Amino acid sequence: MTVRPDNRLADAPMHPVSCRACGAAVLARKSSWQQTSVQWSQSAMAACRSWDPGDPFQGRHPVCEELRASIAQAATDGTIPVLESEG
């Protein structure tokens, strides 16, 4: 059986976005207006003011309202393409 390569990142790369509140720089991708993928780096986690390592998120990094708004603005401005809108 042949394993099909996963080309999602090639077809829809992640784009840098900085939180307007704390400056945490993450990578984000919008598959639709409702669905967002966020990739955190160590430096972004260190910069984020809303993340507490002792929080019960069990290793999952939350996305605060300020970062959500920053990503939404980037999508509205066209900095991040919304894949559902393309086509």
- pLDDT winner (highest mean) among 2-6, 15-19, 38-42, 81-85: 15-19
pLDDT confidence band for 3 (50 / 70 / 90): confident
pTM of the full structure: 0.77
Count: domains in the chain:
1
Could you list the residue range(s) of the whole structural domain that residue 30 is in? 15-82
Distance of CA 46 to the CA centre of its chain: 16
Q: Is residue 8 part of a domain?
A: no
With 0-12 CB in 10 A as exposed, 13-18 as middle and 19+ as buried, what is 56?
Answer: exposed
Q: pLDDT tens, 33-75? A: 999 999 989 899 889 887 666 665 555 666 788 999 999 999 9
Q: Is residue 3 part of a domain?
A: no
Distance of CA 47 to the CA centre of its chain: 15
